[in-house]
Amino acid sequence: MKFLSKSLCLLALLASVGWCEPAVLHRDLTIPNMFLVKETMREYHKSGQYLREIDIIAGQAQAYLEQNLPRHRQHKPALVLDIDETCLSNYPHINAFDFGYIPKEWSAWIAQGEAPALGGPRELFRYARKNNVAVFFITGRAEKDREATLKNLGREGFEGWQELILKPDGDHTATGLYKAAQRRRLTEAGYTIVVNMGDQASDLEGGYAEAVFKLPNPMYYVP
């Protein structure tokens, strides 16, 4: 009887601390499981939802530009675009390396100049050029990547832009500060930046743009 009583108590204790429904077995209390997060991102891309959201936001940016362009015809209207995960998609490389960043492999990928265009942002670019809006690319890519970047942009139909602005080699200025300073330079040169679009908050913070549009990017973060 004493053995039975101890066994029942042990079973009750195990039930209170160790039992959970099967659906709960794959949940983590605080930090999501990295493998499952990666699979979720792959499904997000594979399903087409990622590209649909990109197109929706780029369409909103284009609608804003179209509606507000008449006010700025005499003020050198401009569109500022980031490049990576804004105009060009690096998903083939990112997925191949399991969402990791290996500098040597990243540089090799950039050098190939084969990143595909994102459709919605390219349509925004084309609308801007068709309507005589100056387009400036402000990217976190380094100056050493200029030739490969020019090749990639041309290959994907980005032609007729005003300036490609890259970071000086070895410059470690925070992205937000660097990009804001470049937008300030353009503003002081007489341009009115009607729309600024990027995939990182650091592409957009710091002012010197009438409207900003943030594209989704759950794959990496640039402070």
Q: Give residue-wise pLDDT tens across range 16-53.
A: 445 555 556 556 678 889 999 999 999 999 999 999 99
What pLDDT score was predicted for residue 182? Answer: 98
| Residue 10 in this model has a pLDDT that exceeds 60 | no
What pLDDT score was predicted for residue 173? Answer: 94
Q: Give residue-wise pLDDT tens across range 58-82.
A: 999 999 999 999 999 888 999 999 9
> Is residue 108, in this structure, part of any structural domain at all?
yes
| Rounded Cα gap, residues 107 and 167, in angstroms | 15
What pLDDT score was predicted for residue 30? Answer: 84
Which tokens belong to 99?
Answer: 């969402």
Residue from 109, 85, 87 nearest 96 by CA: 109
Q: What is the average pLDDT across 10-19? A: 48
> Is residue 126, in this structure, part of any structural domain at all?
yes
Domain count within the chain: 1
> Is residue 209, in this structure, part of any structural domain at all?
yes
Q: What is the average pLDDT across 202-222? A: 97
What's the CATH code of the domain at 73? 3.40.50.1000
Q: What is the pTM of this model?
A: 0.87
9 — pLDDT class (breaks 50, 70, 90): low
> Is residue 181, in this structure, part of any structural domain at all?
yes
> Is residue 222, in this structure, part of any structural domain at all?
no
> Is residue 83, in this structure, part of any structural domain at all?
yes
What pLDDT score was predicted for residue 196? Answer: 98
Are 136 and 79 in contact by the 8 Å Cβ rule? The answer is yes
Give the range of the structural domain holding residue 199, as residue numbers without chain letter: 45-214
Q: Give residue-wise pLDDT tens across range 100-143.
A: 999 999 999 999 999 999 999 999 999 999 999 999 999 999 99
| Rounded Cα gap, residues 86 and 136, in angstroms | 13
| Rounded Cα gap, residues 150 and 147, in angstroms | 5
| Residue 6 in this model has a pLDDT that exceeds 90 | no
Cα-Cα-Cα-Cα dihedral of 130, 136, 137, 142, to 10°?
150
> Is residue 75, in this structure, part of any structural domain at all?
yes
Q: Give residue-wise pLDDT tens across range 153-180.
A: 999 999 999 999 999 999 999 999 999 9
> Is residue 109, in this structure, part of any structural domain at all?
yes
* Partner residues linked to 212 by β-bridges: 196
